[in-house]
Amino acid sequence: IAGITQAPTSQILAAGRRMTLRCTQDMRHNAMYWYRQDLGLGLRLIHYSNTAGTTGKGEVPDGYSVSRANTDDFPLTLASAVPSQTSVYFCASSDSATSGSDEQFFGPGTRLTVL
Amino acid sequence: GESVGLHLPTLSVQEGDNSIINCAYSNSASDYFIWYKQESGKGPQFIIDIRSNMDKRQGQRVTVLLNKTVKHLSLQIAATQPGDSAVYFCADPQGGKLIFGQGTELSVKP
């Protein structure tokens, strides 16, 4: 069981380019999340999805979009990357309906550099 | 807005000593908290959680204390080991969305 996988592991991207970060979970969790982590700012929620077919905005959604076509996948797209989007991106999932808690399981992260 | 914060950005302890990491929260309605550990280059990993109907919860070498009166919680690590070196976050799930503190970096000196 892999848990949560993210791809790519790291990426250097020219400003203005479009980029999709991939996230897949095999735990059949209903909820999935995208965070960015910047030094000194902790983890901040970008977008989330409580169940397949629904998405919502988090704390810092501008410049990002997500989709949730099925339970397992939750891609994050940067339509036109800017240097301020340089960060480490973490995908997470949870299934409070099953576990009875709000524990979120995190992927290994994608390190993105926008030049 | 509501926030979760940590008192110290870094903590250095001697191997074998106990570590205490503190966290303050502002949302009086918060009723559930989670501590995460993040090792360098990895994603956060669940350590322990506590609900507001408890003052204390113990795990393996870790204890979380919750003081609802002053809106403060702490993570205590007994007999700190080099493998405990990491950044520790307290998090407050608000409507299923985690609000993270900034983190405390724990360094363990041999």
Q: Confirm or reject contact between B43 and chain A (CB < 8 A).
A: yes
Residues in A 2-41 with any Cβ partner in B closer than 8 A: 4, 31, 33, 40-41
Q: What share of chain A has pLDDT > 70, as a percent?
A: 92
Mean pLDDT over all residues of chain B?
88
Cα(B73)–Cα(B17) distance, rounded to whole angstroms?
20
Residue B5 has pLDDT above 90, yes or no: no
Measured CA angle at B28 (ends B24, B32), to 5 deg? 75
Q: Tell me the C-alpha distance between A58 and A48, whole Å.
A: 7
Token digits for B73? 């919680």
Counting one residue from A and one from B, how many pairs have CB atoms under 8 Å apart? 55
Optimal mutation site among B8, B98, B100, interface A, most CBs of chain A within 10 A = B98
Place of tokens 């990993």: B45
Residue B49, phi then psi, degrees to nearest 5: -130, 165
pLDDT tens track for A7-63: 999 999 999 999 999 999 999 999 999 999 997 678 899 999 989 999 999 989 999
At A64-103, the pLDDT tens digits run 999 999 999 999 999 999 999 999 999 999 986 544 466 8
pLDDT greater than 50 at residue A3:
yes
pLDDT at B58: 96
Q: Which domain holds residue A63?
A: 4-114
Give mean pLDDT, residues B4-26: 85
Residues of A in contact with B102 (CB under 8 A): 40-42
The total domain count for chain A is 1
Domain ranges of chain B: 4-102
Q: What does the pLDDT look like over B59-105, one tens digit per residue?
A: 999 999 999 999 999 999 999 999 999 999 998 877 667 788 888 99
| For residue B1, pLDDT beyond 50 | no
Q: What is the pLDDT of residue A93?
A: 94
Q: What is the CATH number of the domain that holds A21?
A: 2.60.40.10
Question: Is the CATH number of domain B4-102 2.60.40.10?
Answer: yes
- pLDDT tens figures, B17-52: 999 999 988 888 888 899 999 998 899 999 999 998
Rounded distance between C-alpha atoms, residue B103 and residue A40, angstroms: 8
Query: What is the Cα–Cα distance from A27 to B96, expressed in whole angstroms?
Result: 18
Across the interface, whether the CB atoms of A42 and B103 are under 8 A apart is answered: yes
